[in-house]
């Protein structure tokens, strides 16, 4: 670990800039986690990650500018930009094409931007690393955006038995379920929750919980029907949903393991190896 003076001296005109792009971005833990990993590997200075707050209105112009920034190495893309990024980059990995969203972008030397999605693999790795099973599980997933889509496909890929998707816009949930069913026909899918249903894992893959005034993404009564409640929201670490679930005696998992599991994959994709 470098001392602060050496850390500052390591940032030079040759440093490759990495970013985390979101709006808001103040809650992001990614820069600290990434720069700590880079420092531990002796790569801080060759690369450095910075927060980049970009509005939805300014996002297309910002992405265009990244092509011209020769010392830009890549960026982690967070809410609300994951889905639109898939239409703005020059090339998508097979995973990103399947999901229809991007959460990591790499800039090639020729200025072309390549996008992939690692939310799903990161989430599953976080669950498995904590000792929970995905194979054979009955899962409730709340959300149908970029992160939720990636998680849905990853859960199906890793062998969940059934997947129920709930979203404030039912049509988006149905569309996502249809895509998952087409790719993984062996998974039992549903958009309806019934009073006698039981779920091994329930996941909040929406942004609800970032603000104290947010409603619970999973109703109190429905929490009772689930064994494990897992979050994708990073800050606050203990969201109102997790606090409610803990109060009901449920096992909870914060969003941090998902992000931690992704960091190595993200840095590798952006060339910081």
| Residues labelled catalytic | 82
Give the CA count within 13 Å in the CB-facing half-sphere of 16. Answer: 19
Angle at CA of residue 28, ends 163 and 14, nearest 5° = 120
Q: Are 234 and 259 in contact (CB under 8 A)?
A: yes
């Amino acid at each position: 670990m470098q001392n602060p003076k050496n850390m500052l001296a390591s940032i030079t005109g040759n440093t490759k800039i990495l970013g985390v792009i979101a709006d808001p971005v103040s809650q992001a833990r990614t820069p600290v986690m990434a720069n700590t990993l880079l420092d531990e590997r002796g790569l801080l200075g060759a690369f450095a990650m910075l927060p980049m707050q970009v509005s939805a209105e300014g996002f297309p112009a910002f992405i265009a500018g990244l092509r011209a920034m020769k010392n830009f190495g890549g960026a982690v893309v967070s809410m609300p930009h994951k889905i639109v990024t898939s239409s703005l980059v020059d090339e998508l990995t097979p995973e990103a094409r399947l999901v229809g969203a991007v959460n990591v972008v790499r800039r090639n030397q020729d200025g072309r931007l390549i996008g992939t999605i690692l939310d799903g693999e990161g989430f599953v790795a976080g669950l498995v690393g904590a000792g929970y099973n995905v194979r054979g599980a009955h899962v409730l997933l709340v959300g149908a955006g970029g992160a939720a889509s990636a998680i849905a496909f990853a859960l199906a890929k890793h062998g969940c038995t059934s997947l129920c998707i709930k979203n404030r816009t039912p049509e988006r949930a149905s569309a996502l379920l249809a895509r998952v069913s087409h790719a993984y026909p062996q998974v039992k899918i549903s958009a309806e929750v019934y009073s006698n249903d039981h779920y091994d894992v329930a996941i909040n893959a929406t942004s609800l919980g970032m603000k104290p005034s947010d409603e619970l993404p999973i109703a109190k009564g429905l929490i009772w029907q689930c064994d494990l409640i897992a979050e994708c929201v990073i800050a606050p670490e203990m969201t109102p949903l997790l606090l409610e679930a803990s109060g009901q005696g449920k096992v909870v998992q914060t969003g941090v393991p998902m992000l931690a599991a992704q960091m190595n994959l993200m840095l590798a994709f952006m060339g910081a190896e």
